[in-house]
Every structure is written in C-alpha cells, then in structure tokens.
C-alpha cells in the first residue's frame, strides 16, 4: 500500500467518529425531513404519501402568512438596529479610560444571560401596571404603551429585547476596530479630520467584513426567533392560545413548533421547515452577492 493511500486510510479512521455522527445526526435528519414533508404524519404509526399537498396548503394557510409577516417584520428591524447598537457599544468599549475593563464587562454581561431568563425579566420590566419601564415613562410624562398586550407594540418590544444581546457582536466589532492600523487615524487627524470624519472614512469601511458577518448571523437568528415569543405567551401575560394578541407573536419557528408538537402535523411542519431553509439560503446568497459592492477586505 502506498504512503498516500495509507495516510488517507488512517485519516478516515481517525475522523470516522465525526463522520458517523455527522451522517447520523445531520445528513439523515435532513433527508428524513425532506421525505416527511411529502407525507401526512402525526408522529405515530405509518405515514401517508400526499405529494406536494403540504406545500400547496401553505399558500392557503393564513397562519403561515401571519407567521411569515411577523418574522420578516422582526428581522427587518432587529438586524440593522442590532448592527448599529453593536458598533456603538464597540466604540464605547474602545475608549481609552482607566475603568474601561469594568465598562466592557458591564456592557457584555447581558449577552451571556440565558435568553429565557431575559424574557421572563422583560415581561415584568415592561408590565404596563408595575413595570419599571412604564414607571419611568409615566414619570417623564410619556404614556406607557402596553408592550406585550397591544399588537401594535408586541413585535417592537421583542426587537428591543434582542438588543440586550448586542454585547457579544460588540466584542467582535471591537476586535475589528482595534485591528485597524493606528497610523491611519493619526494621519487623518494630522490632515484635520474630526472624529466623525475618521469614523466614516476609516473605521466604517474597514469593519465592513465584520458587519457582513453580523448581518448574516442576525438574519439566521432573526428568521429563527422563538424563545422570546414562547416564554412571553407561556407566562400568561398574553394569550397563549393565540400567540399573543391577534397572533402578533406567532413567529415562523414558533408556528413550526406548534404545528409539529401541539397539532401533531409532522409532515406539514417539515414542509414549513424546508420553506424556511430555502428562504434563508436565498437571503444569505443575496446578501453575499450584495456585499461585493460594499465589503472591503483590504486597506
């Protein structure tokens, strides 16, 4: 046996546990869900082949369109706002002050808290009767909206809640900012460029790869938003049976969860999953293609 063939055999042998796990827990479930999407199956017994019936049913399902709208509304707001908040936090973390380490820890701390815990706290924090946010707004003379009881505000409240996790992306932006050569800023300052001009001409263009990463990550997380809506509707603060007032918290993955595990329509849920996968893939490819016009990988 040649050396190359022996090395290939030994390499495959060493990575075989990973290959087996990947095939069993990644490839097989993906293929199984695709097959399941063309059936009617409750999770028990034998399935019944239905062809493309599950996919044509999507077009007539008002809850599908409601969930898609809610998810798109959330993603369109949460992703760009999240990028801006993360950049602002990164700029704050980059300041040269003596206590900057403590400030960085404080700004990063909310992002390491479990999302379900933050959601429970958020329900109390925005309660229109005794919540701290409502109290502060009333003190300054601003009427406090019903953040989780009014369908006009429920999705916006989830968008605001998502910004509590901006500390993680902010650290990545901070690393990108600190990787920019300092002589660029010094040269611009000598030429008379102010802080805003230096940010627009140097910092922003050179952190565009990090912005692209954050946008892709934000799109992935935004299209899969689930925990916040599930926790808020499960606390009894809003109608759990309708996923919030007028189903305003019925996000797409939440609808998949309900379809699969509450309504036991596994085949239809699998079809919903594959539509989400196709949309997510199309958006990611579109963003990468769009990024060619504004992402700068070199100075």
Q: What is the pLDDT of residues 31-75, one digit of tens each?
A: 999 999 999 998 888 889 999 999 999 999 999 999 999 999 999
**pLDDT given for residue 159 in this prediction:** 94
User: Within a domain: residue 37?
Assistant: no
Q: Is the pLDDT of residue 240 over 70?
A: no
Look at the chain and report how many structural domains it folds into: 1
Structure tokens at 256: 């998949």
For residues 121 and 133, is the Cβ–Cβ distance under 8 A?
A: no
Instruction: State the pLDDT confidence band at 238, using cuts at 50, 70 and 90.
Output: low
User: Within a domain: residue 83?
Assistant: yes
Q: What is the number of other CB atoms lying within 10 angstroms of the CB of residue 127?
A: 19
User: Within a domain: residue 142?
Assistant: yes
CATH code assigned at 101: 1.10.3720.10
Q: What percent of the chain has pLDDT over 90?
A: 56
SS3 at position 194:
coil
- Domain range for 98 is 60-291
Please give the distance of CA 68 from its chain centroid, rounded to a whole number: 15
Q: What percent of the chain has pLDDT over 70?
A: 97
User: Within a domain: residue 227?
Assistant: yes
Query: How distant, in Å, are the alpha carbons of 96, 163, 254, 275 from that of 168?
Result: 20, 10, 25, 29
User: Within a domain: residue 155?
Assistant: yes
User: Within a domain: residue 64?
Assistant: yes
User: Within a domain: residue 242?
Assistant: yes
User: Within a domain: residue 282?
Assistant: yes
Q: What is the 3-state secondary structure (H, E, C) of 66-101?
A: HHHHHHHHHHHHHHHHHHHHHHHHHHHHCCCCCCHH
Task: Give the global pTM.
Answer: 0.89
């Amino acid at each position: 046996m040649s050396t190359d063939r022996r090395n290939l055999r030994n390499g495959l042998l060493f990575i075989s546990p990973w290959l087996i796990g990947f095939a069993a827990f990644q490839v097989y479930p993906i293929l199984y869900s695709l097959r399941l999407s063309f059936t009617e199956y409750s999770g028990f017994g034998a399935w019944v082949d239905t062809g493309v019936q599950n996919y044509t049913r999507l077009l007539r399902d008002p809850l599908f369109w409601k969930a898609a709208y809610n998810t798109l509304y959330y993603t369109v707001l949460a992703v760009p706002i999240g990028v801006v908040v993360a950049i602002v936090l990164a700029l704050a973390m980059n300041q040269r002050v003596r206590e900057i380490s403590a400030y960085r820890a404080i700004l990063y701390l909310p992002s390491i808290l479990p999302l379900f815990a933050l959601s429970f706290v958020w329900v109390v924090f925005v309660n229109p009767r005794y919540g701290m946010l409502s109290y502060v707004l009333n003190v300054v003379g601003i009427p406090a909206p019903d953040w989780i009881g009014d369908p006009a505000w429920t999705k916006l409240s989830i968008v605001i809640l998502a910004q509590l996790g901006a500390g993680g992306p902010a650290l990545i932006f901070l690393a990108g900012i600190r990787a920019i050569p300092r002589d660029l800023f010094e040269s611009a300052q000598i030429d008379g460029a102010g802080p805003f001009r230096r940010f627009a001409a140097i910092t922003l263009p050179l952190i565009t790869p990090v912005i692209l990463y954050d946008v892709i990550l934000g799109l992935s997380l935004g299209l899969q938003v689930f925990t916040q809506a599930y926790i808020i509707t499960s606390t009894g603060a809003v109608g759990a049976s309708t996923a919030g007032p007028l189903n305003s918290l019925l996000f797409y993955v939440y609808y998949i969860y309900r379809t699969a595990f509450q309504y036991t329509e596994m085949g239809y849920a699998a079809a919903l999953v594959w539509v989400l996968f196709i949309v997510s893939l199309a958006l990611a490819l579109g963003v990468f293609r769009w990024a060619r016009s504004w992402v700068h990988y070199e100075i």
